[in-house]
Structure 1
Amino acid sequence: MNFSTETQTLIEGLIDWFQVILTIDFARYLFGAGGVFLLTLLGRQWLATRKIRTKSPRRRQMMREFRASLITVFVFGVVGLSTKFGLEAGWMEIYGDIDDYGWGYFAFSLIAIIILHDAYFYWTHRLMHLKGMMKHIHWLHHRSHNPSPWASYSFDMPEAAVHALFVPLALLLLPMHGLAMWLFLGHMIIRNAMGHSGYELFPRRWAVHPLLGWLTLVTHHDMHHANGNYNFGLYFSWWDRLMGTEHPDYLARVTGDPDRCRAPLGVTGAKENA
């Protein structure tokens, strides 16, 4: 096999991989954002008491979010090529046989990647809110002041790249079974779409549960879009609690009990402007 044939084979392989990633990520976006959107649309009467804000996002805004999300899917595909290189080079591993590591590791890896993603999201999100970075990286997402599920992928290109880099970085640390990776990616988009739905889709009492209270309910992220100085977490509230960036009115807002206002556990809340 000569060099020209090897190069052509490599290029064809990369194109095929790119197309697969585009298809998977677009389908995942449609399934997550579209599914949650349909749930809130068809169930709007049943969910009326769970609506977080009086007004609903306009169709023009949702179309903008969808168009921006198509660009994000493209960026995810480009960055996803690094995963292809990592797998081919043996730096990363997505395995197919549970017995290679066992069910215990399967569960551990799934929990670990969710916890790692939450930490990655919190700290990169905080950085994006710095005054010198906000307008260049995170501004488009916050144009959706009152977001819809279609805002799940509505990012500036640099922000899309930051989000996409998590998977190859995580795979450098954690071998993942293919099913565990699918479960993680499905969990990611569903939680993301729910967080932008505008309806409190979780039981409100979870916010004050000793264990479930560490989960971020929909109101948590909705308040971030309303006031970008607080609530930077994705799945869990512990980083916001620890770093003093959870909105002090969050529990009062989500439970409807004004006596639930609390001071954060950590330092004074962030001062960056959204």
Structure 2
Amino acid sequence: MLHENATLLDFAARVYPGILQHDLLRYVIGAGGTFLVINVLLGRYVAGRKIRSQWPAPEQMAREILASLRTVLIFSLAGLSIAFAAQLDWLNLYMDPAARGWPYFALNVAVLIVAHDAWFYWTHRVMHQPRLYRWFHRLHHRSNNPSPWTSYSFDASEAVVNAIYLPLALMLMPTSILAAFVFTAHMMLRNAVGHCGYEVFPAGKDCRPLFDWLTTVTHHDLHHARAGTNFGLYFTFWDRLMGTEDPSYYAAFARASGNGKAARADYVG
């Protein structure tokens, strides 16, 4: 047993720095890249699509980045648990993405994303219960006017809830390393864009979202403005099925996308 423990410790010492670096880069590139491209470089070009008139305060963004570094640490420990489980053959995590065929690869990524949306919706709703909110989700909602840096700004308890999804999913579905990478990259990008404060999703001729089955930036921004609706992460169908979509969503989206007749107005929390 001592030899096995020493072997696992050696394995952890060998792989953990790379896992931590990967998780940190994913946040820095995802959140920082979104902030740089949308909020800074394209800010003047998409100014008419800014959802709120105010800018997030620098102190808020500093708090978000500090909290996010703790989230990165927690996510990296979940990544280490995946590496341990794969080393012990508890997971069917494999290298060649074409080993089961490319249709399976596409299905694999799709299932990871759709299942994660369900995981997020239901855990998110639970964390909004009054007895749990202050312990799990209050820090994230201190960012009433979110920025891309908000995407990982979690209490430690919420970070753990979010982190355990992928190890559980990998226990149930054989997954290639590339499929897991695509899933986590999508998760980071959608999360960062969803908090960017500019409505970057296109509108149709009816002023509604062109891809109405996807959550837009306005959709999640409304959740930060008036917590209690719009719990979905990637898709709108759980909110619509469960009756938790904000009734003002379409009007707010029309204003933010520049297709509404009413002037942009800040939400009242």
TM-score, normalisation: structure 2: 0.90
Matched, 1:16 2:14: yes
Structure 2: unaligned runs, 5 residues or longer? 262-268
* 1:258 to 1:46, Cα distance in 2 relative to 1, 3 A: closer
TM-score, normalisation: structure 1: 0.89
* 1:118 to 1:110, Cα distance in 2 relative to 1, 3 A: same
**AA of the residue aligned to 1:23:** Q
RMSD over aligned CA atoms reads 1.9
Task: Tell me how far apart the structure 1 counterparts of residues 208 and 100 of structure 2 sit (CA, whole Å).
Answer: 37
SS of the residue corresponding to residue 199 of structure 2 reads: coil
Q: Give the superposition deviation at 1:219.
A: 0.3
**1:30 alignment partner, one of 28, 31, 55:** 28
Task: Tell me how far apart the structure 2 counterparts of residues 60 and 125 of structure 1 sit (CA, whole Å).
Answer: 26
SS of the residue corresponding to residue 98 of structure 1 reads: coil
Summarize deviations over 1:93-151 as a string: whole Å, max 9, x none.
Answer: 22122342111100110111110000000000000000000000101000000011001
Task: Tell me how far apart the structure 2 counterparts of residues 166 and 221 of structure 1 sit (CA, whole Å).
Answer: 21
Describe how 1:216-255 pairs up with structure 2 within 5 A. Answer: 216-255=215-254
* 1:242 to 1:192, Cα distance in 2 relative to 1, 3 A: same
* 1:209 to 1:219, Cα distance in 2 relative to 1, 3 A: closer
Larger helix proportion of the pair: 1
Task: Tell me how far apart the structure 2 counterparts of residues 99 and 189 of structure 1 sit (CA, whole Å).
Answer: 24
Q: Counterpart of 1:111?
A: 110
Q: Give the superposition deviation at 1:163.
A: 0.5
Q: Give the superposition deviation at 1:5.
A: 4.7
Q: Counterpart of 1:196?
A: 195
Structure 1: unaligned runs, 5 residues or longer? 260-273
**AA of the residue aligned to 1:36:** T
Deviates more, 1:5-14 or 1:214-223: 5-14
SS of the residue corresponding to residue 212 of structure 2 reads: helix
Q: Counterpart of 2:154?
A: 155
Q: Counterpart of 1:48?
A: 47
Q: Give the superposition deviation at 1:6.
A: 4.1
Task: Tell me how far apart the structure 2 counterparts of residues 112 and 153 of structure 1 sit (CA, whole Å).
Answer: 23
Verify the 8 A CA contact 1:98 1:177 in the aligned structure 2: yes
Deviates more, 1:69-78 or 1:8-17: 8-17
Summarize deviations over 1:154-186 as a string: whole Å, max 9, x none.
Answer: 000010001110110110111112221111111
Verify the 8 A CA contact 2:208 2:253 in the aligned structure 1: no
**AA of the residue aligned to 2:13:** I
Task: Tell me how far apart the structure 1 counterparts of residues 67 and 17 of structure 2 sit (CA, whole Å).
Answer: 19
Q: Counterpart of 1:89?
A: 88
SS of the residue corresponding to residue 213 of structure 1 reads: coil
Summarize deviations over 1:220-266 as a string: whole Å, max 9, x none.
Answer: 0000000111000000000000000000010111013779xxxxxxx
Q: Counterpart of 1:264?
A: none
Summarize deviations over 1:7-49 as a string: whole Å, max 9, x none.
Answer: 3332121133322221111000011100110011121110100
Verify the 8 A CA contact 1:86 1:92 in the aligned structure 2: yes
Verify the 8 A CA contact 2:97 2:178 in the aligned structure 1: no
Higher relative contact order (CA 8 A, sep 6+): 2
Verify the 8 A CA contact 1:94 1:178 in the aligned structure 2: yes
Task: Tell me how far apart the structure 2 counterparts of residues 135 and 4 of structure 1 sit (CA, whole Å).
Answer: 41
Tell me the number of residue pairs that the alignment of Structure 1 and Structure 2 aligns.
Answer: 257
**AA of the residue aligned to 2:140:** H
Verify the 8 A CA contact 1:205 1:255 in the aligned structure 2: no
SS of the residue corresponding to residue 204 of structure 2 reads: helix
**Structure 1 vs Structure 2: percent identity of aligned residues?**
48
Task: Tell me how far apart the structure 2 counterparts of residues 137 and 98 of structure 1 sit (CA, whole Å).
Answer: 36
Describe how 1:69-148 pairs up with structure 2 within 5 A. Answer: 69-148=68-147
Task: Tell me how far apart the structure 2 counterparts of residues 200 and 154 of structure 1 sit (CA, whole Å).
Answer: 21
